[in-house]
Amino acid sequence: MAQPLTSGVAGDIHLLLGNEAIVRGAIEAGVEVVTCYPGTPSSEVPDTFFHLSKGGNFSFEYSINEKVALEVGGGATLGGALTLTTMKHVGVNVAADPLMTLAYIGTPGGLVLLSADDPGCHSSQNEQDNRIYARLAGLPVFEPASAQEAKEMTRQALLLSRQWEQPVMLRTTTRLNHLRGPVQFGEVRKPTPAGEPVKNPNRFVPIPAVARARHAQLLKKFEEIGTWAETTPFNNVSGKGEIGVAVSGISRTYLADALMEFGIDGNVRVLSLGFSNPLPNKTCTDFLNSVKRLLVIEEGEPVLENELRVLAQRASLEIEILGKGFAGLTRLGEYDTRIVGKALAKIADINPPPASTCSILPETLSALPKRPPNLCAGCPHRATYYTVRQVFRDTVFYSSDIGCYTLGILPPLAMADFLLDMGSSVSAGCGFARASGKTVVAFIGDSTFFHSGITGVINAVFNNHDLLLVVLDNGTTAMTGGQPHPGVEVHAQGPNPVQVSIEGLLAASGVTEVRTVNPMNLKATRAALDELKEMTGVRALIARAPCIIHARRILKTKSDQVAYVPTTTNSIRACLETLSCPAFTVGQDSAIAIDETACTGCMVCLQVSKDIKAHKRRNK
């Protein structure tokens, strides 16, 4: 099928995921370089670019972490390329260092940073509001609220970044990234480099003398951009009346629907901000001056609210400003039409529409069996975890990291005692072991190892830490959907001819005791762990077997054999209790069976219980 994102022409309307709309916007702007580290909810942006990269007019890379992605992107824009760098909100923490300086020295080719925030922690360890990062660094911010806006704003952000020579933040939230809506395409601008790069160390090398001058430049530039913000149609005032609502980001959609549902569309004065930093101060002050009571609706932190309070105070306005803490508007999680509607009804003094008439008690619902995500049947991490637990039980502490394997927290595996951030299992594990004197077993995935695990390893060797590191190498970046990294053998677009060796990196870092095993071989894994258990210092087990989804989709491997239970015995019960493979089921008569469609034929359970047997797969 033709790929509309590249071949689509102006006027076409396609139903796109928010993340796909961002890709189209970048293509329309003529993006030349795209760098990223994948992370939900941003992942489909780089994944789509990756898919389009063969024959595309842009250069694309999966960088090893967000800092590197922004540094490569930063170098590209200094070299004159129109550049997009994408990551999830916590990724910006990793990239914060180059980010602060890029705003000082500027971006001659143009550079947009996509920060995909995750209020509600759908797939993240926190719900930080990166609008604050934009204020810290001095980045103009676009906050789209529909697929169409995602496309338009990405295009505009890139082109304005080049015009302003300043980095721009495209700040999205999970709901925007993962919504689907119609998008009307515009013209595709041909990629055009900004011209020959010019040597200018007085701008681009921020030694203190340069940095001081550039800071002043940044503030001046920001003022100019504030003037532009007064005129952009992405910011607008509508409606009439003494009650005002100021709103930004995806909350603009919740407000629009609540106004429509209440039938008071037009009877409330609304300041809608799609370009939210720097604020259009004049527009905002005029707006504050035109209403008596103001409700500020924004998910996350009271960023807009506080800035409007400052403006009101500066202009000595008698206005009541309500935001966080009013009518259930919290700093926690996501908003929706009902939450916004409730606050709107309270300030506008109208009755909200009736809530659900469903009479099910919350207790009934909370008592239902939960359905948490789980390590897949046949996942090699399950086998590794099983054996580590057999060897160490609860006598050690398990330092966890970010990836599918974090799901090993669930009992009976229970393989996660603490976790800070991506790459922390190594370094936090070292600190924990030194402080507590306890043995720490740290787990890290292959992609995470390259992301920021390796720096922790180098530190651990240099500082004589005591750590047993287990590298769970499943040959792909599994959790975010199977993206390649330097260590993979093969990925969606073919073999990786320049595979970087984890063993080689460990050896070069000074880790002398390294064992590589196939975790599906429990005996060999156990023997290696028993050996490493007796040692001190930094030592590592590499547990290498492909992610089962990667094996099926990319490696095209599938087992013809599956496990089955001839008769339920105590040893099979024990296997179910300790291995907890999701292919096992317990019938009403307590008989254990193995679901043949779920079983991948990994045969780990046969090694746990001699009573489990293998036979040929019956259905294809």
- Binding residues (CB under 8 A) for another protein: these are 1, 13, 15, 40-41, 43, 122-123, 145-147, 174-175, 178-182, 250, 252-254, 256-257, 260, 334, 336-339, 354-360, 364-365, 368-376, 404, 407, 478-480, 549, 576, 580, 582, 584-586, 590
* Beta carbon nearer to another protein, 178 or 515: 178
Complex with another protein: residue 181 or 302, whichever CB lies closer: 181
What pairs with residue 85 in β-bridges?
A: 35, 113
Please tell me the distance from the alpha carbon of residue 257 to that of residue 246, in angstroms, as a whole number.
15
CB of 260 to another protein, least distance (A): 7
Q: How many CB atoms lie within 10 A of CB 501?
A: 11
State the minimum distance, in angstroms, from the CB of residue 481 to another protein.
8
Nearest approach in angstroms of CB 579 to another protein is 11
Q: Which is nearer to another protein, 534 or 589 (CB)?
A: 589
Q: How far apart are CA 203 and CA 207, in angstroms?
A: 9
What is the rounded distance in angstroms from the CA atom of residue 27 to the CA atom of residue 124? 29
Residue pair 84/31 in contact by the 8 Å Cβ criterion: yes
Q: Can you read off the two tokens belonging to residue 296?
A: 């500020």
For residue 241, the minimal CB distance to another protein (Å) is 21
**Could you tell me the smallest distance in angstroms from the CB atom of residue 306 to another protein?**
25
Nearer to another protein, 181 or 197 (CB): 181
The residues, ordered by sequence, that sit 6+ positions from 331 with a Cβ below 8 Å of its Cβ are 300, 301, 302, 324
Residue 243 token pair = 């009650």
Beta bridge mates, 56: none
Helix residue ranges per DSSP H, 324-483: 337-348, 362-366, 380-392, 424-436, 446-448, 454-462
**Cα separations in angstroms, 72 against 34, 51, 86, 485:** 9, 20, 12, 16
d(C-alpha 583, C-alpha 600), whole Å: 9
Helix, strand, or coil (residue 288):
helix
Q: Shortest gap between Cβ of 365 and another protein (angstroms)?
A: 6
Name which of 57 and 568 has its Cβ closer to another protein.
568
- The pair of structure tokens assigned to 254 is 């919740």
191 versus 582: smaller Cβ distance to another protein: 582
Q: Which is nearer to another protein, 209 or 332 (CB)?
A: 332
In the bound complex, what is the minimum distance in angstroms from residue 151's beta carbon to another protein? 14
Minimum gap (Å) between residue 145 Cβ and another protein: 7
Q: Which residues contact 75 (CB under 8 A, 6 or more apart)?
A: none
Whole-angstrom distance, CA of residue 128 vs CA of residue 303: 12
* Of 353 and 510, CB closest to another protein: 353
